[in-house]
Amino acid sequence: MSQLSVSRLSVRYGPVKALRDVSLEIPKGQITALVGPSGCGKSTLLHTLNRLTDLVDGCEVRGSVRLDDDLEITEATTDVLALRRHIGMVFQKPNPFPHSIRRNFEIPLREHGVSRANIPGIIERCLRDVGLWDEVSTRLDRSALQLSGGQQQRLCIARALALDPEVILFDEPCSALDPLASAVVEDHIAALRGRVTVVIVTHNLAQARRIADRLAVFWVRDGAGTIVETGPAANLFTDPTDPDAARYLSGERG
Amino acid sequence: MLNPLAAAPRRARRLDRAIAIAGGAASFSTLAVFGWIVWDLIRLGLPNLSWHFLTGEVETAGRSGGIGPVLVSTLLILLCCLAVAVPLGIGCAVWLSEFVRRGSRASRIVTGGVDLLASVPSIVFGLFGMTFFCQVLGLGFSILSGGLTLACMILPILVRTTLLALEGLPADLRPGAAALGLTRTTTLRQVLLPTALPGILVAITLGVGRALSETAALLFTSGYSTRWPDSLGESGRALSVHIYDLAMNIPNGSPNASASALVLLVLILLINLTATGLTERWTRHLSGTTS
Amino acid sequence: MSRSRTDRFVQWSLGGLAVLSGGLVLLIVVFLLLGAWPTIQSGLLSHLLTDETWRPGSDRDPQFGLLPMLAASFLVTALSIGIAAPFGVAGAVFDRFYLPPGFRRWNHRLLELLAGVPSVVFGFWGLTVLVPAINRLHPPGQSLLAASLVLSLMILPTVALTSQAALRAVPESETLAAAGLGLGRARTIFSIALPAAKSGIGGGILLAVARAIGETMAVVMVCGNIAEFPSSLFDPVRPVTSTIALEMGYASADHKALLYTAGLILVLAVAALVGWLAFRGSKNVPASG
């Protein structure tokens, strides 16, 4: 069953075409990796899924993205604040708020109407989910900026989890981290399988091979990004049909 | 025989030394004159400075007695000024930074207006304040009129410095907050403004410094009264106006003018040091974010 | 959707504050125009330039000659820039190329403190220290020279700090390239650094000019306030700003309208300078690299 279905989606930034005619089914509870060279629209697709494209002036979205075969995400009347509660996001660079670790949870939770009494429990559960609880439980009131890069990124994942989203979007979550921290973060993303639908943009093919259930390969065709091949990750790595995708996945142009 | 390769460096070295001496002399004399001014003020002012001077009544038009009521009036003028300028300036800066695109027509018009306002000479603010606040709005020569006039004057510095603070925030805070489904209002109140707070405090400190050192804009707006002020509607003399009046209009007013000038100078130095300290904290605060 | 209604409310209120802030300067100009209107209407405008003296309060034969004051403003500004600019720029060159980095921060801080000294303090110091000194040299002391000196001290930090910033903005790669070509420090300064920083230094000087034209307190206390053309550096003068400050309190009718006109002239002069500076800046940005 599809959690998100993208069909015939095109996105442009002013005169620049970023995505053309993209269709993709993102199954529930699985990890879908979006791969391909830089500048072929992977991040744009990710930003369309939770309407962060709204923050970009002159960004024009056409086509359809449906959540649970029910809510049309691209519709102007969609309540984007509620939408973003259902579809969380983790960015390339860790971006905790420059407040205490606790405040990083309180701000979004209070905003979405969670009562104060429930917040400590949620903080503990989410920090345990990303393996951070034992490291920070005694210093929840210290600044989040004092954490290491990898810890900050796990905090951001925990913060996204706190809103109980059905989907979490990851935009190259490990590319700003050192290899060790990157491995830890990757393990925690993999552990989300089955509980949350994950869409991850990555430039690291080995990572995609390790964690992805499904793969979508992006390529620039006629001046705009599009998906040239999609399917179960295992099949795609062993037996791609598109020649560009085949060369890319075999590492010739990684 | 002359070796051109050897000759050139010697001339260059001589020129180099000349520049060093001229530049060093310029630098040194600038700072030396500053030192001279401070030394003169200390020499002339310190003997008259005492606790009684800071708290006492103004007597015989300022020749004797203290500056107690003047300090209180100054403080009240400053408070009126900040009460108006701070919300106006910060609101304007927040709007420019968070609600309109940079370079859009609305943003260009508003920043252009604010920059023009910054170029208006202070005596013209005095002229405007006297007509608009004292006469048209009927506030008369009062602490309120003076404060409002100063508010107009320090508005640009507040807008510009706050804008700088907001634009200096890490760019990924905003999409991060949006991705958590926060409204713009919440993002502002809970994330952006608290993070920019040290920078905003710098803006306010700079505004206070500017307001405190201003004289011309207050000459014909806040009045000359040296009594203890009872309300904001009364005339009240600012410290800078007191110095001007003692020096220019009161025979033998100079000793107390020196002491008042020393007090003003110390206040301004303290405010400047606060601003520098805050700026340094602010830079450290942000560099923690980017690492 | 009440949350987005809050957002809209905040957006509109902040927009209101912004419009108020941006429009304030218009309000000021409108008030100056209204105040100056009688001058324009009654044809006094031509008197500003043709009358020989300034006797606006006289009942029998009022004279409205503004030229001596405009000349005084011009002279005081030009002289103070003439003094401050070489000192400021030379100091900035010294700061960038000769001063050990450890001292640079202190130099910068002291200049910032100097920039913050209130103009009335400069004026007071000029009146009690500088004017008597000049008086011993050549009476009366309160003079074009005193005003120019005090004003030059006031604007020196502006020139120095902007020149420092302009020199610091010259990419290190360029000065290193010059060193790599075997150019000495002096040659590097004159051939590479100063030309590259020219626009920034010029901007700083223009900014100082704008400040000097508009400065009131430091000047009014030491210039002597006699509205005549000076014949030497030691003659008293009276710039436009001083005239407004001295006569605002009692002026009425035509006289008052004249002061508004003078204020308007000041605002236009300074705004033209600053506007030109902004225009120049926006044009020069891509070319300055």
The CATH number of the domain holding residue B156 is 1.10.3720.10
CA distance B246 to B63: 8
3-state secondary structure B243-261: HHHHHHHCCCCHHHHHHHH
Q: Which domain holds residue C157?
A: 71-284
Cβ pair B238, B153 in contact under 8 A: no
Chain A CB within 8 Å of residue B103 CB: no
Element (H, E) at B179: helix B173-179
Domain membership of residue C65 (yes or no) is no
Residues B41 and B73 in one domain: no
Closest by CA to C218, choosing from C157, C156, C151, is: C151
Across the 289 residues of chain C, what is the mean pLDDT of every consecutive 10-residue run? 80 95 95 90 79 78 84 95 95 91 88 91 95 92 95 94 92 82 82 89 91 92 90 92 90 86 92 84 47
Chain C CB within 8 Å of residue B117 CB: yes
Residues B123 and B156 in one domain: yes
Domain total in chain C: 1
3-state secondary structure chain A: CEEEEEEEEEEEECCEEEEEEEEEEEECCCEEEEECCCCCCHHHHHHHHCCHHHHCCCEEEEEEEEECCCEECCCCCCCHHHHHHHEEEECCCCCCCCCEHHHHHHHHHHHCCCCHHHHHHHHHHHHHHCCCHHHHHHHCCCEHHHCCHHHHHHHHHHHHHHCCCCEEEEECCCCCCCHHHHHHHHHHHHCCCCCCEEEEECCCHHHHHHHCCEEEEEEEECCEEEEEEEEEHHHHHHCCCCHHHHHHHCCCCC
The ipTM value here is: 0.90
Residues B106 and B135 in one domain: yes
Take residue A14 and report the two structure tokens written for it: 């002013």
Q: What is the pLDDT of residue C87?
A: 95
CATH classification of A2-91+165-249, choosing from 2.30.40.10, 3.40.50.300, 3.30.420.40, 3.40.50.720? 3.40.50.300
Residues B77 and B117 in one domain: yes
Residues B26 and B97 in one domain: no
CA distance C9 to chain A (A): 17
Residues of chain A scoring pLDDT < 70: 252-254
Q: What is the pLDDT of residue C288?
A: 33
CA distance C56 to B7: 68
Using an 8 Å CB-CB cutoff, list chain B residues near A172.
none
Chain A CB within 8 Å of residue B182 CB: yes
Q: What is the pLDDT of residue B196?
A: 92
Q: Which domain holds residue B204?
A: 51-290
Residues B122 and B213 in one domain: yes
**What 3-state DSSP class applies to C175?**
helix
Q: What is the pLDDT of residue B129?
A: 95
Element (H, E) at C146: helix C144-168
Above 60 in pLDDT, residue B288? no
CA distance A63 to A43: 17
Using an 8 Å CB-CB cutoff, list chain C residues near B95.
11, 14-15, 17-18
- Under an 8 A CB cutoff, do C86 and B31 touch? no
Site from B180, B183, B187 to mutate, A interface, most A CB atoms within 10 angstroms: B180
Chain B CB within 8 Å of residue C285 CB: no
CA distance B118 to B155: 8
Torsion angle (degrees, nearest 10) of CA A81, A82, A87, A90: 40
Domain membership of residue C274 (yes or no) is yes
Using an 8 Å CB-CB cutoff, list chain A residues near C2.
none
Chain B CB within 8 Å of residue C18 CB: yes
- Under an 8 A CB cutoff, do C21 and B114 touch? yes
**Amino acid at the residue C250:** Y
Residues B37 and B83 in one domain: no
Using an 8 Å CB-CB cutoff, list chain A residues near B177.
97
**What 3-state DSSP class applies to C285?**
coil
Using an 8 Å CB-CB cutoff, list chain B residues near A111.
180-183, 186, 190
Chain B CB within 8 Å of residue C118 CB: yes
Chain C CB within 8 Å of residue B141 CB: no
Q: What is the pLDDT of residue B289?
A: 45
CA distance A131 to A102: 16
Q: What is the pLDDT of residue B285?
A: 67
Domain total in chain B: 2
Domain membership of residue C38 (yes or no) is no
Cβ pair A205, A236 in contact under 8 A: no
Using an 8 Å CB-CB cutoff, list chain B residues near A100.
none
CA distance C142 to C236: 6
- Under an 8 A CB cutoff, do C241 and B216 touch? yes
Residues B24 and B80 in one domain: no
The CATH number of the domain holding residue C100 is 1.10.3720.10
Using an 8 Å CB-CB cutoff, list chain A residues near B175.
52, 55, 91, 95
Q: What is the pLDDT of residue B290?
A: 40
Chain C CB within 8 Å of residue B169 CB: no
Take residue C14 and report the two structure tokens written for it: 């902040």
